[in-house]
Amino acid sequence: MQSTNVPMSIGESNNTNHCTRQQLQELLQNSFGDLPMLLVSNREPWIHSHCDNGWIEANRPASGLVTALEPFAEATGGTWIAHGSGNADRCTVDEKDAVNVPPDMPQYRLRRVWLSKAEVEDYYSNLSNRGLWPLCHVAFVAPLFEHHHWQVYREVNQRFAEVILEEAAGKPALVFIQDYHLSLVSRILREANPNLITVQFWHVPWPNREVLRTFPYADELIHGLLGNDLLGFQSKSHAHNFLDAADRLVEARVDLEQEQVSQNGHRTLVGSYPISIDFDYWNEVGASDEVDLSMKQWISELNLETDQLLIVGMERLDYTKGLMQRLHAIDRLLQLDPSLKGRLQVVQLLVSSRGTISEYRILRQEIEALTRQINRRWADGGWRPIQLKIEDRSLIDRVALLRLGRCCVVSSLHDGMNLVAKEFVASRSDGDGTLVLSRFTGSAQELTGALLVNPYSVEALAQSMQRALLMPERERRMRMTQMRKQVADQNIYQWGSSIVSDIQRVRQRKALKSDVSTLTV
Ligand code: F6P
């Protein structure tokens, strides 16, 4: 087990110039205080489920989107509209299908949209996650495009739009839509209530034109997204891919310099806003007594010895995360450096997700089989190199595990951002730890203190892990300090405030336009 418990200062991040929750709140109040805020996503931030003892419990799902957006929702205190997916969700809502959350200290309203099992299957599992998900990620899993799935996707997008329109009640509102499940919503809203300001953030990569063209409904997808006033991507290259697609695949006027697209008199501003987390929160959790206690529990649960070197991996079970490549690299690492035999301990924590999709079920079996195979090959006495845990653990336990690791590995084959990398850095209130990070994540553009690696190269991945494990403490701390400053400065409130500033521009432009048209009339 590796951990140097140098006491941290919670106030460390106060030395930085980052935007705070309060500043974002003030900015929102000053710019849009007169408008209701409607956040929209497929995934709901709180899921209510029946327990065996007859009680109902509320849980937060394992979702980067939820982690990132919840502080934003709390800061703005509006309404979050999302699919009600829990088996006790209907028991907890009021007559408007809404419930105030978080349950222990409500700060915003969650309005649930009900979908049938068949709709979830075709709109969420099929079109969104077997079609758009592999289309957007270069992970070499062929996307599935079926006309019926697209029809159901359209219908569900229409349903979400109707709920939003009902919430806005014909008045102006600021609507902030999330992700690839809801690409047709803003167009429907625009036609029904032009007073709405619509913003959409695309959390996953946007593919290049050649790849996008394989999607039979690419033009409708782009057209749908052009209903937004502002469209945000994680990186400049994804924003440019979108502008290029709008230029070549639909009839629209694209201004590459101003990063905007005009279609039938409506303009969409296209920008890049790398998403982040609430650094101060993760930092404080990392330094808490609860985490301290949980670290001790992990040490006994994992049977960690003081001289062991711990590598931690933590994510949703997904083929985009490069999990098989990571396992092969661990095998290779033990060949490269036999002195690690008995000393290396890899803990891979996975949250199972999208389990109804066959590609995910197959991947789970492959991961389990390969782990068994590697463990058999290297087993020595009671020691096995890999402990695979496919289970949902509390936030405290996850942070504690991140705190224990000498090294955290994020080997995604492609990832819009990857917030686990940022969570690791923010949790390391002790200032120690190394990060091996795939070049193909959005985070790699910011976390330059990490050891950046091509996850397709098992050799390079193994060598980077070796370097991360054996790196002198001085270098580890220097790199970590740099990464922590980066995440503290570019936190979720900074992300929110960049978007809000651009929405302000959009609003001013719209107001100007309506003044001019009134004059002309
Ligand atoms: O952006 C992709 C994303 O929606 C993330 O926000 C989230 O971490 C992940 O996929 C979870 O997906 P799902 O909502 O399908 O569980």
Does 125 contact ligand 1 (Cβ within 6 A)?
Answer: no
Q: Taking 70 as the threshold, does the pLDDT of residue 175 lie above it?
A: yes
Q: Which CATH number does the domain housing residue 186 bear?
A: 3.40.50.2000
- 468: tokens are 């991360």
Q: Do 346 and 228 fall within a single domain?
A: no
Which range is least confidently modeled, 228-242, 315-329, 498-512? 498-512
Which element (helix H / strand E) includes 191? helix 185-192
Q: Taking 70 as the threshold, does the pLDDT of residue 470 lie above it?
A: yes
pLDDT recorded at residue 72: 79
CA distances for 85 relative to 45, 103, 408, 516, angstroms: 10, 17, 32, 46
- 481-510, pLDDT tens digit by residue? 999 999 999 999 999 999 999 999 988 887
**CA 486 to centroid of ligand 1, rounded, Å:** 24
- 158: tokens are 């229409």
Q: Taking 60 as the threshold, does the pLDDT of residue 151 lie above it?
A: yes
Q: Do 95 and 120 fall within a single domain?
A: yes
Q: Taking 90 as the threshold, does the pLDDT of residue 56 lie above it?
A: yes
In this prediction, residues 125-135 reach a mean pLDDT of 98
The residue whose two tokens read 């996503």 is 41
Number of domains, the chain: 2
What span, in angstroms and rounded, lies between the C-alpha atoms of 348 and 384?
13
Q: Which residues contact 374 (CB under 8 A, 6 or more apart)?
A: 327, 330, 331, 385, 386
Q: Do 425 and 484 fall within a single domain?
A: yes
pLDDT recorded at residue 302: 97
Q: Taking 90 as the threshold, does the pLDDT of residue 257 lie above it?
A: yes
Site to probe by mutation for ligand 1, drawn from 63, 319, 321 as the one with most ligand atoms within 8 Å of Cβ, is: 63
Pairing state between β 260-263 and 309-316? unpaired
**CA 477 to centroid of ligand 1, rounded, Å:** 32
In this prediction, residues 141-170 reach a mean pLDDT of 98
63: phi then psi, degrees, rounded to nearest 5: -150, 125
Residues of 241-266 as b/e, b for ≥16 C-beta within 10 angstroms? bbbbbbbebbebebeeeebbbebeeb
pLDDT recorded at residue 517: 61
- 207-234, pLDDT tens digit by residue? 999 999 999 999 999 999 999 999 999 9
Does 204 contact ligand 1 (Cβ within 6 A)?
Answer: yes
Q: Which residues contact 39 (CB under 8 A, 6 or more apart)?
A: 69, 72, 73, 76, 78, 79, 80, 81, 176, 178
- 15-41, pLDDT tens digit by residue? 456 899 889 989 988 888 889 999 999
Q: How crowded is the C-beta side of 403, counted as CA atoms within 13 Å?
A: 32
The residue whose two tokens read 């929102």 is 28
Q: How far, rounded to the nearest angstrom, does the alpha carbon of residue 149 sit from its chain's CA centroid?
A: 24
**CA 8 to centroid of ligand 1, rounded, Å:** 32
- 67-105, pLDDT tens digit by residue? 888 887 888 889 999 999 999 999 999 999 999 999 999
pLDDT recorded at residue 4: 30
- 268-291, pLDDT tens digit by residue? 999 999 999 999 999 999 999 999
Q: Do 432 and 291 fall within a single domain?
A: yes
Residue of the CA atom closest to atom 14 of ligand 1: 43
CA distances for 174 relative to 131, 146, 221, 421, angstroms: 29, 33, 22, 31
> Ligand 1, closest atom to CA 416?
1
What span, in angstroms and rounded, lies between the C-alpha atoms of 62 and 352?
9
What span, in angstroms and rounded, lies between the C-alpha atoms of 311 and 470?
12
Pairing state between β 79-83 and 56-59? unpaired
Position 293 confidence tier, pLDDT thresholds 50, 70, 90? very high
CA distances for 124 relative to 162, 168, 284, 291, angstroms: 18, 25, 35, 35
Q: Do 73 and 160 fall within a single domain?
A: yes
Q: Do 137 and 26 fall within a single domain?
A: yes
In this prediction, residues 349-360 reach a mean pLDDT of 96
- Residue with the bigger pLDDT between 7 and 235: it is 235
- Residue with the bigger pLDDT between 306 and 121: it is 121
Q: Cis omega before residue 102 (within 30°)?
A: yes
Query: Which residues are 163's β-sheet partners?
Result: none
Q: Do 242 and 303 fall within a single domain?
A: no
pLDDT recorded at residue 8: 31
What is the chain's mean pLDDT, rounded?
A: 94
Q: What percent of the chain is predicted at pLDDT more than 70?
A: 95
In this prediction, residues 373-392 reach a mean pLDDT of 97
Which element (helix H / strand E) includes 513? helix 492-520
Residue of the CA atom closest to atom 9 of ligand 1: 63
For 397-433, give the DSSP string.
HHHHHHHH-SEEEE--SSBS--HHHHHHHHH-TTS--
Q: Do 25 and 131 fall within a single domain?
A: yes
Query: Is the sign of the CA dihedral 127, 444, 486, 234 positive or negative?
Result: negative
Q: Do 209 and 349 fall within a single domain?
A: no
Q: Which residues contact 428 (CB under 8 A, 6 or more apart)?
A: 286, 402, 403, 480, 484
Does 128 contact ligand 1 (Cβ within 6 A)?
Answer: no
Q: Taking 60 as the threshold, does the pLDDT of residue 12 lie above it?
A: no
pLDDT recorded at residue 208: 97
DSSP one-letter code for 441: B
CA distances for 498 relative to 19, 175, 259, 274, 502, angstroms: 10, 16, 15, 10, 6
> Ligand 1, closest atom to CA 68?
6
> Ligand 1, closest atom to CA 128?
15
Q: Taking 80 as the threshold, does the pLDDT of residue 242 lie above it?
A: yes
Q: Do 284 and 148 fall within a single domain?
A: no
Q: Taking 60 as the threshold, does the pLDDT of residue 200 lie above it?
A: yes
pLDDT recorded at residue 3: 32
Identify the domain containing residue 161 by its residue range: 3-276+493-520
Residue of the CA atom closest to atom 4 of ligand 1: 65
For 25-68, give the DSSP string.
HHHHHHHHTTS-EEEE-SS-S-EEEE-TTS-EEEE--S-HHHHH
Nearest to 18 by CA among 395, 276, 287, 399: 276
pLDDT recorded at residue 11: 33
pLDDT recorded at residue 450: 98
Does 65 contact ligand 1 (Cβ within 6 A)?
Answer: yes
Position 116 confidence tier, pLDDT thresholds 50, 70, 90? very high
Long-range CB contacts (within 8 A, 24+) of 95-99: 99/46, 99/48
Q: What percent of the chain is predicted at pLDDT more than 90?
A: 88
Q: Do 86 and 69 fall within a single domain?
A: yes
pLDDT recorded at residue 518: 58
Q: Do 50 and 139 fall within a single domain?
A: yes
Position 10 confidence tier, pLDDT thresholds 50, 70, 90? very low
Q: Which residue type sits at 251?
A: E
**CA 63 to centroid of ligand 1, rounded, Å:** 5
Q: Taking 50 as the threshold, does the pLDDT of residue 240 lie above it?
A: yes
What span, in angstroms and rounded, lies between the C-alpha atoms of 338 and 330?
12
Nearest to 437 by CA among 407, 405, 470, 466: 407
Q: Are 396 and 287 in contact (CB under 8 A)?
A: no
- Residue with the bigger pLDDT between 75 and 174: it is 174
Site to probe by mutation for ligand 1, drawn from 40, 42, 43 as the one with most ligand atoms within 8 Å of Cβ, is: 43
Query: Which residues are 255's β-sheet partners?
Result: 260
